[in-house]
A and B are shown apart, each in its own frame.
Chain A
Amino acid sequence: MKGWIYQLKSVRKDKFCIMSFFLPVLVAILLNFAGSIDLSSLGELQFVLTAGDLTSETTEWLARYGTVMICQTEEELISEINDPSTNLIGIEKDGKGIKTILSGDEWAILQQAAGTLPLLYEQRESSAQVGVQILSRPDILAGYQHIFAAMTLVVAMFMGCTFNAMNIISEKEEGVVFINEILPMSPKEYLIQKIGIGFVFGCLSALITAAICFRLPFARAAVMLALLVLSAFVSSLIGLFIGRFSNGLMIGVVYIKLVMIVFMAVPMISYLAGVENRILTFLSYLIPSSATLEGIMDLANGGTAMAGKDTVILAVHGIVWFLLYLLLAGRGKKQA
Chain B
Amino acid sequence: MWNHNKGNRDPARTNHRLTGKSCKTRSIWKSLRSLLQKDFRMMRSGKFFAVALGSLLLYTLFIHFAYVRFMDMEIYQVYLYDPAGTQRNVSPLVHPVASLEEMDRILHKDANSVGIHVTDGKPEVSLYTASKKLDRHRSDYALSLLHPGGKYTPETVGGNNLEQKNRRDITCELLFIEIVAVGFLGIASVLFKEKQMGVMRVHAILPLPKSLFLFSKIFLFLATDLVFAILLVLCNVGLSGTGKILPGLLIQTTILSLVMALTVFGCAMILKDFRQFSLAYLVIALFVTAPVFLSANTSIKMTWIRFHPFYHIYMGLKHAFFGIPVANPLYYLCAAGAVVLLFGIVKTAFCREMEKEG
Contacts and interface: CB of A to CB of B under 8 A. Distances in A.
Interface of A: 14-16, 19-20, 23, 27, 37-46, 64-67, 78, 81-85, 87, 89-90, 99-109, 111-116, 118-120, 122-124, 126-127, 130-137, 139-141, 162, 166, 170, 249-251, 253-254, 257
A83 B315 CA distance: 10
Contacts of B76: 109
Interface in B95-136: 107, 111-112, 122-131, 133-136
Contacts of A133: 124-127
17 contacts: A41-B300, A44-B131, A44-B299, A65-B134, A82-B322, A84-B165, A84-B324, A104-B159, A104-B161, A106-B162, A107-B71, A107-B73, A115-B152, A119-B149, A130-B125, A132-B126, A139-B129
B279 A103 contact: no
A98 to B, nearest CB: 11
Given A16-B278, A45-B133, A133-B125, 11 more contacts: A19-B279, A39-B300, A42-B299, A43-B134, A84-B165, A90-B155, A105-B164, A107-B71, A112-B74, A119-B152, A130-B125
A78 B189 CA distance: 46
B144 A127 contact: yes
A123 B126 CA distance: 19
Contacts of A118: 152
A134 B129 contact: yes
Contacts of A130: 122-125, 139, 143
B293 to A, nearest CB: 11
B344 to A, nearest CB: 28
Nearest to A37: B300
Contact of A101 (B135, B154, B182, B301): B154
A289 to B, nearest CB: 17
A120 B133 contact: no
A103 to B, nearest CB: 3
B12 interface: no
A81 B155 CA distance: 11
A69 to B, nearest CB: 11
B126 A104 contact: no
Contacts of B318: 84-85
Given A20-B282, A37-B294, A43-B131, A107 B162 contact: yes
B239 interface: no
Central interface residue in B140, B276, B322, by most chain A CB within 10 Å: B140
Central interface residue in A14, A82, A111, A119, by most chain B CB within 10 Å: A119
B160 A99 contact: no
Given A84-B169, A257-B182, A103 B156 contact: yes
A250 B46 contact: yes
Contacts of B154: 89, 99-102, 111, 114-115
Nearest 7 pairs of A and B residues by beta carbon: A103-B158, A105-B165, A104-B156, A112-B75, A100-B154, A105-B160, A114-B154
A16 B182 contact: no
B17 interface: no
Interface residues of B, number: 79
B356 interface: no
B206 interface: no
B333 interface: no
Given A44-B133, A84-B319, A113 B141 contact: yes
Contacts, number: 212
Nearest to A86: B299
B103 to A, nearest CB: 11
B158 A105 contact: yes
A257 B185 contact: yes
B1 interface: no
B100 to A, nearest CB: 12
Contacts of B274: 249
Contacts of B127: 132-135
Contacts of A83: 324
Contacts of B126: 132-133, 135
A13 to B, nearest CB: 12
A250 B129 contact: no
Contacts of A15: 276
A254 B51 contact: yes
Contacts of A126: 143
Contacts of A257: 182, 185
A66 B141 contact: no
A164 B192 CA distance: 20
Given A84-B165, A105-B164, A253-B189, A38 B72 contact: no
Interface in B55-73: 71-73
B334 interface: no
B125 A131 contact: yes
Central interface residue in A89, A120, A136, by most chain B CB within 10 Å: A120
Contacts of B125: 130-133
B282 A23 contact: yes
Contacts of B299: 41-42, 44, 46, 67, 87
Central interface residue in B76, B155, B294, B301, by most chain A CB within 10 Å: B155
